[in-house]
Amino acid sequence: MDFNAIKMAAERIHKQVHLTPVLTSQLIDQALGCDCFFKCENLQKVGAFKARGACNAVSLLGENEAAHGVATHSSGNHGAALAYAAKLRGIPAYVVMPSNAPQVKKDAVAAYGATIIECQPNLPARERELARVVQSTGAHFVPPYDDERIIAGQGTAALEFMAQTADLDIVIVPVGGGGLLAGTALAAKGERANVLVYGAEPAAADDAARSFRSGQRVTEVEAKTMADGLRTTLGQANFVVIKSHVDDILTVSEASIVVAMKLLWTRLKIIVEPSSAVAVAAILEHKKIFFGKRVGIVISGGNVELSQLPF
């Protein structure tokens, strides 16, 4: 897949998603030692960039494929995104969610009219339950990240970002399954060949960093991070793109994630989930790389349980 896939996705979904704003803050620039531009995908439909990939994937379905709706398993934003995209198309959505998924994320999926199927909180149970749902409903499975339609959709955020913000030296985004990072790398380098693209990952879930360094995709990780959106391992299609288009993956401590999250809340006045703060934490921990540069950060989402803040 290539830059063109992103441009076509952008044409396809532009009426279904928000053109999200880019925010700046002098006080954050002072704290981080570089000029920061924040692409606010927390202000996107369903509160996360995931709306882009889901809309692209659902738009691409033929009539027959879409006839019985769509299904996925998700502990978070992808479930709400698919529910939103399905609602726009007027087809049913089935979302398998672990029983311990945050209430705020269950509420979001339900608000868009999807059917929630609860399962035990582990990957085999999720896959088993999803297979059963697909079997019994005939719904089309839309994976959360390991899918070229999803990668292309997620890349549209960076495409907009490059048009909104001139002369970025670096773009940095969080990496979990790798949909956002792969799409961002294709889009940013397609628009501006010499921009550097970094992934940011919790050290406590560093499968992407280890995969990137070794060239072999790590498929198991303990993932004891507060950044719940980044606990998954890198997808296969995602790793192919990331290996060839990303410059490096930086890891961060849990403590830095909390500092970064608080900085964003207090200075940008926006609600970001821990996963979104990981990219800012990477700047905090690796200041030399970013010093004096024009840095674009994609704020990935804002779905957080307000009663359980880490500060």
Interacting residue ranges for a second copy, rule: CB under 8 A: 18, 21, 23-24, 27, 42-43, 47, 104, 111, 262, 265-266, 268-272, 302-303, 306-307, 309, 311
The set of residues, in sequence order, having a beta carbon less than 8 Å from that of 228 and lying 6+ positions away, is 75, 76, 102, 273, 274, 275
- Cα 209 to Cα 146, 178, 217, 249, 276, distances in angstroms: 17, 11, 10, 5, 17
Min CB(89)–a second copy separation in Å: 15
The nearer residue to a second copy, 205 or 280, going by C-beta atoms, is 280
> CA-CA distance, 42 to 13, in Å (whole number)?
17
Min CB(304)–a second copy separation in Å: 9
Min CB(108)–a second copy separation in Å: 9
The nearer residue to a second copy, 23 or 157, going by C-beta atoms, is 23
The set of residues, in sequence order, having a beta carbon less than 8 Å from that of 307 and lying 6+ positions away, is none
The nearer residue to a second copy, 36 or 182, going by C-beta atoms, is 36
The nearer residue to a second copy, 221 or 271, going by C-beta atoms, is 271
**In which order are the strands placed within the sheet that holds 248-252?**
22-23, 35-40, 294-299, 170-174, 196-202, 248-252
Min CB(267)–a second copy separation in Å: 8
**In which order are the strands placed within the sheet that holds 93-98?**
115-119, 93-98, 70-73, 140-141
The nearer residue to a second copy, 52 or 149, going by C-beta atoms, is 52
The nearer residue to a second copy, 1 or 43, going by C-beta atoms, is 43
Min CB(66)–a second copy separation in Å: 22
Min CB(271)–a second copy separation in Å: 5
CA angle at residue 180 from 49 to 29, to 5 degrees? 80
Min CB(167)–a second copy separation in Å: 19
- Paired strand residues for 97: 118
The nearer residue to a second copy, 25 or 137, going by C-beta atoms, is 25
Return the closest-CA partner of residue 20 out of 292, 274, 307, 270. 270
In the three-class reduction of DSSP (H, G, I as helix; E, B as strand; rest coil), residue 65 is classed as helix
